[in-house]
Amino acid sequence: MKRVTAILLAMMLLLVCSSSFAYTEGWVKENRISTRSGPGTGYTEPGSFLSYGDQVLVHTKVWDSRNEIYWVQVEFTSRGERYRAYTGSWRLNVDLNQVPCEIVEGYTWLNSNLSGYAGPGYAYHRYGDITLYRNSYCTIIEVENDFALIETSGSSKGLTRVWVPLDALEGGYEYYGRDTFSDWYDSWDNGWDNSWDNDQGATLLPGGSYNDSWQDPALSGYPQTSTYLIGRCFRVGAESARVRSEPSTESAVVEYVFQNQCYEILDCRLGNTGRDWYLIRVNGQEGWLSSGLVTLLD
């Protein structure tokens, strides 16, 4: 009975894992547009371009709360080389309802100087003109094929997103190396009682909260709270940010906050972007601010 239950759970996990590698097809509706390594004009330009009518695979979307627009991560071929890069969703003919939101996986450091790649593997374009520096702090955006998409300012060209092998990250392979169902299943089959907890351990999410379930929090549809964050303080990292009436980018703006201002967290809830949102009080008015715009203080 125990093994049957385990198999059923494994099948459920396969469906969840498979969804993380899904993509939506789209095509370019503007002529000759440049791409960015990340979701915004502040990121490096890979030197790749898209032209009218080009077919692309749209992997994820990212909400730009400052401009209230979506950027999307797309896969394509440019000058005979494979890329994954970002462009504005308004430049594509694509159904954004079919595109999953990006979710930060964790935070770590680079353990060596290296160059990155434009996708999760050595078959993608190599950024030979960008050097990533050892001990640079980075955010892990996505993990696939034993590669991680990281965001860091510790590069020769400033803020950038590149894919690097997991062994280039401090603790990378140990915590993120099992990104496929087959790896997880092999571990379970050799020792079911231990593999579930080890492989599905807590993952650091934006704002310092944890997801202790194997279910993708962005897909669950259930509000989640991280009560231990209540009472902690943070500093606003964005130049300015909207404070909203509910933890959703679709709710009304009630106040604004500005860079380097500090606030106390009154409550915490998972919002519609897949990120934690913090309830704060600004000028006597309570409202919600996305954790992606702030830095927690010790």
> Which stretch of 85-99, 191-205, 225-239 has the lowest confidence by average pLDDT?
191-205
Average pLDDT of the chain is 76
Average pLDDT (86-113) is: 88
Of the three residues 176, 196, 218, the one that is the final residue of a domain is 176
Hey, what are 207's tokens?
A: 């704002």
In a domain, 38, yes or no: yes
Separation of alpha carbons 178 and 20, rounded Å? 13
In a domain, 249, yes or no: yes
Separation of alpha carbons 181 and 19, rounded Å? 12
Burial class from Cβ neighbours inside 10 Å (0-12, 13-18, 19+) for residue 296 reads middle
In a domain, 75, yes or no: yes
CATH number at residue 43: 2.30.30.40
Look at residue 176 in the predicted model and tell me its pLDDT.
65
For 15, the domain range is 2-98
pTM (global) more than 0.85: no
Whether 10 shows a pLDDT value over 80: the answer reads no
In a domain, 189, yes or no: no
- Tens of pLDDT along 137-166? 888 888 888 899 999 988 998 899 999 999
> Which stretch of 120-124, 185-189, 209-213 has the lowest confidence by average pLDDT?
209-213
Of the three residues 158, 176, 194, the one that is the final residue of a domain is 176
For tokens 């008015």, the residue is 285
Of the three residues 98, 115, 140, the one that is the final residue of a domain is 98
Q: Are residue 38 and residue 60 in the same domain, yes or no? A: yes
Q: Which residues pair with 88 in a beta bridge?
A: 71
CATH number at residue 131: 2.30.30
Whether 9 shows a pLDDT value over 90: the answer reads no
